Amino acid sequence: MKPELIQKALDAGLYEYGHHARPLAQKWEPFLEGRPVKRLVVAYDNADYTFASQPLFTEEKALLLSGIRAVQEAFDAEGVEIFLPEKMQGLADGFGYPVRYGKVDVRELGEGDLLHHPETLANIARVQAGQGPMLYAQVAQGGTEKTVCLPLESTVGGFIQAAGMAIEEGTVVAGGWFGRMLTPAQLSQPLYGLANCRIELFPQGFCPVSFAQEGSAHAAAESCGHCTFCREGNYQISRFLKNAVTGHGTEEDIPWLHTLSEAVGEESVCSLGQESVRFLREALVSESKSFDAHIRGKRCDKDVCQAFTDYAVDGSLCVGCDKCRSVCEAGAIEDGPGFIHRIDVFECVKCGKCAAACPEKAIYRVRVGRLIGPTKATKVGRFRTSRKRY
Ligand code: SF4
Ligand code: SF4
Ligand code: SF4
């Protein structure tokens, strides 16, 4: 064992990255007390579907390899094995260690396995080289995603700024793999500790019910099926939430969502099942009005869910530039240059491309039946209304 290598990492106060975040001092305790390390396991959390730290397997490969070697030597580990998600197929083939692609079966891990996330190993290597720890994160907005790597203590706002994105009024930020709503005050706190690896911006509005539905559908599709609650529970949750966002929810669904999400969180053995319901469990309490609005009121109180909203042009903002019409593949936008454009809600497939293309931010979502705009061809600047967006 090489205590000086270990001491450096402990002195730097390094943490294990990811779902099992805790100080390395705590994680290493049994091994420092004499338990032999049979295998150093390098693995992503099963819940991590963003792979923000993927550059560690490409341009920063030397750094990661140095971290692996340092820990292997420090603990006299007999062997090293790398587990990578299938989406990273081939990336560690030249590393000189056995690699397995797919989910980590946590039941296979034994007492002599020391498990580290690649981000943790990279930071151990950085600290050995006299540098500070760093953190990779993905920042997403609409269809754009950017990966940035900043010092570990960087704030949520710092990551957003480094990605070249801005927080506009009304934007909600959710961090982590399956999301967590962040308050404005949390934007000036370090990302690490609040959530890992992913920040999402929703300048067009954020609906917690729809976000939870997407997360549960993803978890149901990704579940390896070993745990009944992760497999069946996420499928059932996804079905209840799909009903909620399409106007088919029933009152009994709410207690079921509480019961199932608790069971999935408690009974799942790996990070995928445990993380998959974290957002839902928080949102069922903090955003209970939104769940009620969808299920009992048959409306999306955030004007996001497609079933309850239409795309509309704000007649007072449209400058008749025609950009929206040129991107609409459904041919749902009426009137030409110089005229206030109008959307035919019966032709519109609600793809949102026009809203993204409009330079005036004149296209928005509105509750079904409450459009504001002219009903016949009207020249730009000739439309007046007292109705406001809400
Ligand atoms: S929690 Fe889900 S993904 Fe993890 S082992 Fe159980 S079934 Fe598989
Ligand atoms: S949402 Fe899509 S289909 Fe509807 S008007 Fe806009 S571009 Fe066309
Ligand atoms: S892109 Fe926006 S401003 Fe231009 S015509 Fe369409 S709605 Fe009007």
Distance 388 CA to ligand 3 centre (A): 18
Give the ligand with the smallest distance to the CA of 223: 1
Please choose from 314, 318, 334, 339 the residue to mutate so as to test ligand 3's pocket, defined by most ligand atoms within 8 A of CB. 318
**Candidate from 71-75, 92-96, 192-196, 295-299 with smallest mean pLDDT:** 192-196
Burial class (CB in 10 A: 0-12, 13-18, 19+), 44: buried
Q: 51 or 196, which is more confident? A: 51
Q: What is the pLDDT of residue 165?
A: 92
The HSE-up count of residue 162 (CA atoms within 13 Å, CB side) is: 17
Which ligand is the nearest neighbour of the Cα of 204?
A: 2
- Lookup: tokens for 239: 């079905």
Could you give all domains of the chain from N- to C-terminal order, each with its CATH number?
3-128 (3.40.50.11540), 134-201 (3.10.20.90), 208-295 (1.20.1440.230), 306-367 (3.30.70.20)
Task: Provide the pLDDT for residue 48.
Answer: 86
Query: How far is it, in rounded angstroms, from Cα 152 to Cα 191?
Result: 8
- For residue 370, report the distance from its CA to the centre of ligand 2, in Å: 17
Would you call 70 exposed, middle or buried from its count of C-beta atoms within 10 A (0-12, 13-18, 19+)? buried
Atom 7 of ligand 2, residue of closest alpha carbon:
328
Collapse the DSSP code of 336 into the 3-class scheme (helix H, G, I; strand E, B; otherwise coil) and give the result: coil
Cα–Cα separations (whole angstroms), residue 127 to 5, 13, 31, 252: 9, 10, 20, 53
Q: Say whether pLDDT at 390 is over 50.
A: no
Q: Report pLDDT digits (tens) over 131-186.
A: 999 999 999 987 789 999 999 999 999 999 999 998 877 777 877 777 888 888 88
Q: How confident is the model at residue 281 (pLDDT cuts 50, 70, 90)?
A: very high
Q: What is the pLDDT of residue 1?
A: 53
Task: Provide CB contacts within 8 A for 148, sequence distance 6+.
Answer: 136, 137, 139, 159, 162, 163
Q: What is the DSSP string of 91-152?
A: TTGGGSS-EEES---GGG--TTEEEE-HHHHHHHHHHHTTPPPEEEEEEEETTEEEEEEEET
Query: Token pair for residue 381?
Result: 């600047």
Provide the CA 279 distance to its chain's centre, in angstroms. Answer: 10
**Residues 6 or more apart from 141 whose CB is under 8 A from it?**
165, 200, 201, 202, 203
| Nearest atom, ligand 1, residue 270 CA | 4
Tokens of residue 249, six digits: 């929810």
- Report CA torsion sign: 276, 174, 204, 325: negative
Which ligand is the nearest neighbour of the Cα of 225?
1
User: 134: CA distance to ligand 2 center in Å?
Assistant: 41
**Whose Cα sits closest to atom 8 in ligand 3?**
318
Stronger pLDDT, 154 or 382, i.e. the higher one:
154
Per-residue confidence band for 332, with pLDDT thresholds at 50, 70 and 90: very high
Q: What is the mean pLDDT of residues 116-135?
A: 95
Give the C-alpha separation, 190 to 137, whole Å.
12
